[in-house]
Amino acid sequence: MPKAAVNGTELYYEVHGEGPVITFAHGVGGNHASWVFQVPYFSRWYKVITFDHRGFGNSAEAPDAPGRSKFIDDLSGLLDHAGVEKTALVAQSMGGWTCLGFTQAYPDRVSALALCDTAAGITWPGPYDDLMEEVRKRTDSLGQLERVLSNDLPKRNPQLAHLYSEIASFNYYDRKNLKGQTPPVTAEQLGKMKTPALFLVGAQDVLYPPEAAQTIYKLVPGASLEIVQDSGHSVYFEQPAVFNHVIHGFLMRAGIGPKAL
């Protein structure tokens, strides 16, 4: 299993395909295996990197280790290890904190940024922060599948819902024991971004509702927004064909990679 020794730990990662680089960053309920529907698709035209954040999947984490506070530095070290100077970033939920933070710290290393169903550590005092606090209170007592999948998915596709749970079971961290923080990103910082950006959200997302994304994406110059129907917080998993089509189109508009065959 390929691993990169960075910041006192070893990060598991995989590389598939050749071409412009896309790095996928998973959420708190996932790991590298979460991208099962994306890797075969995008690796036809791109070099695809998936990895396990520390404490997830095959990336170990000691009980007294720093957790999220090292996620941005970890991504930098992983890309250095893999010899990648510049990459597009596709982030879901928790991965948004990693990827938006990385983009703020290393803008010249990011060719495009897709923030999918993620609050990404953004803070904007006033109505936006008030909305996100209300969302946190409303969803804190929900079970994991209720938080991340649309309400009808377990009945409509029980195999897919079960697969999500199985993938999540390999993680040391979960939302209740995840330690550390990444630096917050302000509205002012978003307004200075020059990286091509896409915000994508499921119409039934209860953790990052569409109205939050509709407010935030306008702060980023030139950013676009996609709201995907019949999906909750995990569009990549519930509606992979739509997700892949939207992300591929965004990358092509950003001048990254060839058109689909």
User: Over the stretch 155-170, which tens digit does the pLDDT of each residue have?
Assistant: 899 999 999 999 999 9
Per DSSP (E only), the strands in the chain are 3-6, 9-16, 21-25, 47-51, 87-92, 110-116, 122-123, 185-186, 197-202, 224-228
pTM for the model stands at 0.96
CB atoms within 10 A of CB 143: 7
Q: How much is the pLDDT for 256?
A: 95
Q: What's the chain's average pLDDT?
A: 94
Spell out the domain ranges in the chain: 3-253
Binned at pLDDT 50, 70 and 90, residue 223 comes out as very high
- What would the mean pLDDT of 93-105 be, rounded to a whole number? 98
pLDDT digits (tens, 9 = 90+) for 234-246: 999 999 999 999 9
User: In the predicted model, is pLDDT for residue 260 greater than 80?
Assistant: no
Closest CA to 145 of 127, 163, 165: 165
The set of residues, in sequence order, having a beta carbon less than 8 Å from that of 209 and lying 6+ positions away, is 131, 135, 201
Model confidence at 14, pLDDT cuts 50, 70, 90, reads very high
Task: Looking at the structure, give the CATH architecture of the domain made up of residues 3-253.
Answer: 3-Layer(aba) Sandwich (3.40)
pLDDT classification of 145: cutoffs 50, 70, 90: confident
